[in-house]
Amino acid sequence: CKMDKDEKIGSTCEITFQEINEMNKKIRPDVISLVATDFFKYFKLNLYKQCPFWEDNNAQCLHRACAVDVVEDWDSLPEYWQPDALGSFSNDSIEEDSTKDDECKFLDQLCAGSGKTTSSLDNKLEDESNVDYCDTADFANRDSVLVDLSANPERFTGYGGKQAGQVWQSIYQDNCFTVNEASASLAKDVFYRLVSGLHASIGTHLSNEYLNTETGKWEPNLDLFMARVGNFPERVSNIYFNYAIISKALWKIQPYLKNLEFCNSYDESVKTKIIDIISQFDSRIFNEDLVFEDDLSLLLKDEFRQRFKNVTEIMDCVHCDRCRLWGKVQTTGYATSLKILFELDDADEETKQNVVDKLTKYELIALFNTLDRLSKSIDSINNFERLYNERLSDN
């Protein structure tokens, strides 16, 4: 990637690519072990929700007919490598939600009788909030299932073609704000970078864990990475931008974490890991105050929130289950960080504490797993750069 690592990542960020690389090296081991804990590895997903935006009964689109063209000849490959198999969940990683009547029961079982788990979900679900950037009602839906994220890593699935293209196109279209162009330009820029950074991060993971159909191994594919991400410095930069958004949101909630419990009696180290991670972040990483600063801000912010909510709902139009799972996790993670960044500011201390106390278990799970996705993307980008330089010096 032809980019200057000592450059700042954007007008809203007072920090360089290199500084983020260094920060990421420090937190990576803790992030890996945090998302592997029982509290953070289950996400709740409604698999039966219809796509709310267009007629969507083309079941074929899970199949090889709509798959990506990076695999030359799908037909010659065995069934277990077909996109419908790669994009599905691994056996036994889904549990019917046995906690329908008591949201905390599932974690209570994990906590081996620890009484209290995370504090807030019950209150939250009754609370009609207008500060959400995603639809948190899904987490209470009776059709939702619990999926073990660690058993379903985000990687190459073969999902692609027109169906995936349509999803990406409609996500980018959500960046067409009706509010006056000039004052909306920074907000539009943030929106675009968020979506493009998500897209690039997914592209990085699918290239980093790519199925080599000759050897049957999952391995990095440098050519694919360059074609999707590496040849576009702007896309790489948007991954770093998203890292800045998520880490600033985490930095901001640090003083208000005291009431949140993460199954502590089951695994005491969870909260310590969180604090260790956040203590590496720097408030200069993103300046959210610049985004909505003039008279139109309230209107613009409402529109921004509604449009980002659409993005989280468009995930229900993704046909590949595994892609949809990670799409939901990450859009929920971004939605949660936007809520923290843009809704925590004007409030007094008590209100701030209240917003943090009311974060649901699944918003927290999404937030930290999205940090992990970005942290892994940055790790992979540095690895791809090394592979690229090795290739250059071999030639």
Among 44, 124, 235, 352, binds ligand FAD (CB under 6 A): 235
- Closest to 263 in 3D by CA, of 138, 386, 113: 113
User: Where do runs of H (alpha helix) occur along the chain?
Assistant: 17-35, 83-86, 105-110, 121-126, 161-173, 181-208, 222-225, 233-253, 269-278, 297-314, 321-343, 349-357, 361-394
Q: In the complex with ligand FAD, which residue's Cβ is closer, 202 or 257?
A: 202
Cβ 334 vs Cβ 221: under 8 Å: no
Nearest distance in Å: CB 68, ligand FAD: 4
328 binds ligand FAD (CB under 6 A): no
- Closest to 169 in 3D by CA, of 204, 190, 193, 196: 196
81 binds ligand FAD (CB under 6 A): no
The verdict on whether 176 is a catalytic residue reads no
CA distances from 257 to 97, 250, 254, 278, 351 (A): 27, 10, 6, 11, 14
- Closest to 240 in 3D by CA, of 203, 172, 194: 194
327 binds ligand FAD (CB under 6 A): yes
The verdict on whether 323 is a catalytic residue reads yes
Query: How many CA atoms, within 13 angstroms, populate the side-chain half-sphere of residue 283?
Result: 4
Among 118, 136, 175, 196, binds ligand FAD (CB under 6 A): 196
Q: In the complex with ligand FAD, which residue's Cβ is closer, 107 or 171?
A: 171
- Distance between CA atoms of residues 224 and 381, nearest Å: 12
- Pick the stretch among 54-62, 257-265, 314-322, 342-350 that binds ligand FAD (CB under 6 A): 314-322
Among 44, 199, 252, 319, binds ligand FAD (CB under 6 A): 199
Among 27, 138, 160, 339, binds ligand FAD (CB under 6 A): 160
- Pick the stretch among 54-62, 111-119, 198-206, 373-381 that binds ligand FAD (CB under 6 A): 198-206
Q: Give the interface with ligand FAD as residue ranges (CB under 6 A).
A: 68, 154, 156-157, 159-160, 164-165, 167-168, 196, 199-200, 202-203, 206, 235, 315, 318, 322-323, 326-327
